[in-house]
Structure 1
């Protein structure tokens, strides 16, 4: 089986997944790309040593989105609308559900054009860092399609409804500078600095209590749709768990020790 997703794990628990399908410019459909990503997510979930996930790509393109050759197959009369609906539900739509539910923080290191479903893949991550030459296009309408993988849910939450509508209704690409201005990415760096910047950010996340980071991510996810009173109740429950972790106890002990040392030295 061709390896389309490379899995690397550093000593500090940062996993880097690299999309690598040069023939399709890292298309997500019409291949085993989604299956291999899902297998990697399962591996991450089962490994308590993983602290952060980075998703990037080989080559000059982050992801071209949908595979045009597969779209030609889907147009044919032998594939009915009901079958296509099931293809989406049991195909690429598993990707946003799995990635959104992943407990560890996720960073998209966007090295080049992120087109259609490729743009949506970046939006599924918690944080996005872009190379200077990266572009983002919610380009489904240019092919007479709609965002079939959850882009209509993710994009407005990141950049607001008006800008999401502009991108979705025109299908036009925006450059990395515009993506930064609109809040789609948190920083833009030269392409040679992209992975070092992503790994530096991931290392800062990985240095914190893994339990606290995972619970914080869950609270941020729940805050997107929960009432304030419900979120506060969940926060209290999670905080009670966090207070009993070894990482919290060590952090408090270290703080008290430093404070005592400062007082004795004054």
Structure 2
């Protein structure tokens, strides 16, 4: 069920960081093989309670789950989650941190932490209230019940639900469409939207103006304006 190991987490973080720095990468898709998307963190090998010292858990969460989700939120390329099956715990948060979420009809989302007597980590208490409001976030986190793909879409956690056999095709189509877009403008837009709920209007407006100033120095912005004037389709290069 694709529980996240330390090695897998570090590899995904490295790939996301590399995607940000590589102008040839224009979009990212995170998906999985098998029956599940991600069953959460692989807890095998975690130290027993009696073996921990003060601060161990805080450091583990900060360097692990939070850094993992932060890598998705901070990636400078649009990131699509193609959820093929159950997404539980950190697996659900991995999907929710993505910019766009596609889900197979069989997908389920589970805030599994309460079933283990744990507090949600990996940014769950940050992401969920911003996506669906505090009341629904508490419902998911307090009860730990599975949320179907259809209900997740109704609640605003998923952009689109598709038959399982169409998931890869749809994710590829979306990624290709994003890859043809103005990559730096998308990166700046992502930053603005992600920061919007944490800032006041004056700060948000100032950030918007600065982002537009930066974006106007890119070749893609100049191409976009030129294509409008010339009444032709823009040909963006991601630069």
**TM-score, with length taken from structure 2:** 0.91
Q: Distance in 2 between matches of 1:233 and 1:77?
A: 50
Which of 74, 79, 100 is the aligned partner of 1:106? 79
**Residue 82 (structure 1) aligned with residue 55 (structure 2):** yes
In the other structure, the counterpart of 2:15 is: 40
CA distance in 1: counterparts of 2:111 and 2:26, whole angstroms: 30
Q: Does 1:237 align with 2:204?
A: no
2:149 matched to 1:147?
no
Q: How does 1:154-173 map to 2 (within 5 A)?
A: 154-173=127-146
C-alpha distance 257-224 of structure 1, shift in aligned 2 (>3 A): same
CA distance in 2, matches of 1:211, 1:78: 47
Larger RCO, structures 1/2 (Cα 8 Å, 6+ apart): 2
Structure 1 or 2, whichever has the larger Rg, is: 1
The answer for the alignment partner of 1:64 in structure 2 is 39
Q: TM-score, normalised by structure 1?
A: 0.82
1:54 counterpart = 2:29: yes
Q: Is contact 1:74–1:84 with CA below 8 Å preserved after alignment?
A: no
Q: Distance in 1 between matches of 2:44 and 2:50?
A: 15
CA–CA distance in 2 between the matches of 1:250 and 1:89?
A: 41
Query: Take 2:185 and 2:43, find their aligned partners in 1: how far apart are those partners?
Result: 42
1:111–1:130 CA contact under 8 A, matched in 2 = yes
Q: CA deviation at 1:211?
A: 1.6
Give structure 2 stretches of 5+ with no counterpart: 233-239
| Gaps in structure 1 of 5+ consecutive residues | 1-24, 260-266
Which residue number corresponds to residue 127 of structure 1? 100
In the TM superposition, what is the alpha-carbon distance from 1:122 to its structure 2 partner? 0.7
Q: 1:81 to 1:111 in 2, by over 3 A?
A: farther
Greater Cα offset, 201-210 or 160-169: 201-210
For the aligned residue pairs, the C-alpha RMSD in angstroms reads 1.6
Determine if the alignment matches structure 1 residue 26 to structure 2 residue 2: yes
SS at match of 2:161: strand
